[in-house]
């Protein structure tokens, strides 16, 4: 199975939903033997965040959000790095995305800052000097814009927006069990 997750680095619902979906996909693989390949694409976050609701949902997921120290940031440069990271594989992209989410939602780091971004890329196993050079350029700006435009065109407004096998969609924050049941349903419907 192939899943494309449209999300945003600065959206807590994306962080929680993607984490739950990844866990459900891992459980699905354990139960069925079928691997779920997951890639991430940029979408714009347009929803207001209810801090109390987000913190409560995060606790259910096993994550302690620190929204009070969160620094507002444009996620375009983060998505440029994530698009480049995908060239090294899905695991590297996922690891970088989780590094960025931790920096933004748990540590209060400014993910609009090139030093923060480059260091997180290095923590995910990418070459620091290449990440710094990429951030100093305009590389991947068009790719990120196209990803966001695709998200708009397919109606990915309630994040995360997961497209499975090109035509099945799971929208918004669901429970891990709901994601798992959806994957089973899609698998049976093939």
Residue carrying structure tokens 């929803």: 47
Q: How far apart are the first and last CA of the chain?
A: 10
Tell me the CA distances in angstroms from 114 to 19, 24, 50, 66, 77, one per residue in order: 25, 33, 28, 21, 8
**DSSP string for residues in 40-80:** EEE----SPP-HHHHHHHHHHHT----GGGPPP---HHHHH
Q: What pLDDT is attached to residue 107?
A: 96
Q: What pLDDT is attached to residue 51?
A: 86
Domains and CATH numbers, the chain: 2-188 (3.40.30.10)
37 forms beta bridges with 2
Using DSSP, state whether 129 is helix, strand or coil: helix
Q: What's the CA gap between 93 and 76, in Å, rounded?
A: 15
Per-residue pLDDT of the chain (190 residues; tens, 9 = 90+): 999 999 999 999 999 999 999 999 999 999 999 999 999 999 998 667 788 899 999 999 999 999 989 999 999 999 999 999 999 999 999 999 999 999 999 999 999 999 999 999 999 999 999 999 999 999 999 999 999 999 999 999 899 999 999 999 999 999 999 999 999 999 998 7
Tokens of 112: 């609009």
């Amino acid at each position: 199975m192939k899943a494309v997750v449209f999300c945003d680095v600065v959206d807590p619902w994306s962080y929680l939903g993607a984490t739950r979906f990844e866990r459900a996909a891992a459980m699905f693989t354990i139960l069925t033997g079928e691997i779920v390949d997951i890639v991430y694409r940029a979408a714009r976050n347009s929803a207001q965040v209810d801090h109390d609701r987000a913190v409560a949902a995060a606790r259910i997921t096993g994550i302690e959000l620190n929204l009070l120290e969160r620094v507002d940031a444009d996620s375009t440069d983060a998505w440029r790095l994530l698009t480049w990271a995908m060239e090294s594989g899905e695991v590297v992209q996922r690891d970088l995305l989780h590094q960025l989410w931790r920096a933004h939602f748990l540590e209060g780091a400014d993910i609009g800052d090139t030093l923060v971004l480059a260091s997180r890329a290095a923590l995910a196993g990418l070459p620091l000097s290449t990440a710094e050079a990429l951030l100093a350029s305009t590389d991947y700006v068009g790719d990120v814009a196209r990803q966001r435009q695709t998200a708009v065109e397919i109606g990915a407004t309630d994040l995360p927006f997961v497209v499975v096998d090109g035509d099945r969609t799971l929208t918004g924050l669901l429970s891990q069990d709901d994601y798992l049941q959806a994957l089973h349903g899609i698998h049976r419907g093939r």
